[in-house]
Chains A and B, each alone.
Chain A
Amino acid sequence: MNSQSPVLNAAFHALSDPTRRAVIQQLLAGPAPVKTLAEPFAIGLPSFMKHLRVLEDCGLIMSRKSGRVRTCRLRPERLAAAESWLTEQLAVWERRADRLTAYAESLTQHEVAE
């Protein structure tokens, strides 16, 4: 792996499991209590907490306890710190250009069906 691995590892962790992916999806709307986040899932709270711990360990989310309520939120700044947003966007556009190149060159070989 290269220097981008902290960001990638975080993304892979999030991606590798549908529960974790769904949690991130929920947190995109804003911070939420653990109880609310756990509601859609038919798994026990201890299992769910393990997923949250994975997300927290890899820096994608953070949580804070206030009284009896633990609230989670995304940490986009962590991603930004690991790799600047512009580098990240550049990577998106670079790969997109690579895919367009490969695709257009394959179209040339097979002719465009118009």
Chain B
Amino acid sequence: MSFNSELDLKVSRIIKAPRDIVWQAWANPEHFVKWWAPAPVVTTSQAHELFPGGAFNTTMVLEDGTTFAGKGCFLDVEQQARIVFTDALQGGWRPNSEPFFTAVITLEDHPEGTRYTAVAMHVSAEACERHAAMGFADGWGTALSQLAALAEQLATA
């Protein structure tokens, strides 16, 4: 897997939990919806088919009931080790009209628990700027989580 610093990003965490637990948090939709989007945005899962070609369909529901539905596709799944998915395709490998990214999630054993790594590879800067308009839900999510963090700071100040 190549890494293009102009188009790709990588985040990594040491999670103090065993690998099978972190896997459950990702693989089991009941758990997955609890952390994927920041409160008060609610994630609902329509399909979470963890196999190559499986559908990965989620909807983000904003407080006022506005919904953003996303249809993605799992490309590669290695139990408790790796999940690759994209929004370029939907379930059954059917192409989507606005491809934006492929993400590779990796879980590895670590003395303190699990090393979690997420790499997202994006199609182009132009598409990304278009996505800034199309995919507002995530931007709102970011803003909301920062607002929540700020509110917490203010509450404890």
Residues of A within 8 A of B (CB): 1, 4, 7-8, 11-12, 14-15, 18, 21-22, 24-25, 28, 74, 76-77, 79-80, 85-86, 88-105, 107-108, 112, 114
Main secondary structure of the interface of B (DSSP, over half): helix
Size of B's binding interface in residues, CB under 8 A = 50
Complex CA distance for A93 and B141, rounded to whole angstroms: 11
A20 to chain B: closest CB distance in Å? 11
A88 to chain B: closest CB distance in Å? 6
Complex CA distance for A103 and B142, rounded to whole angstroms: 18
Structural contact, A80 and B16, CB atoms closer than 8 A: no
Structural contact, B143 and A105, CB atoms closer than 8 A: no
Give how many A-B residue pairs fall within 8 Å (CB-CB). Answer: 125
Please give, as numbers and ranges, the residues of chain B lying within 8 Å of A107 by CB-CB distance: 17, 21, 24-25, 31
Binary A-proximity of B115-150 (CB < 8 A = 1, otherwise 0): 010101010010011111110101111111111001
Chain B's closest residue to A99 (CB) is B35
Question: Which of A4, A25, A112 contacts B21 (CB under 8 A)?
Answer: A112
Please give, as numbers and ranges, the residues of chain A lying within 8 Å of B6 by CB-CB distance: 86
Structural contact, B15 and A104, CB atoms closer than 8 A: yes
Please give, as numbers and ranges, the residues of chain A lying within 8 Å of B64 by CB-CB distance: 18, 21
> Knowing A28-B133, A76-B132 touch, does A95 contact B38 (C-beta < 8 A)?
yes
Most buried by A among B7, B31, B35, B139: B139
Question: Which of A12, A105, A114 contacts B15 (CB under 8 A)?
Answer: A105
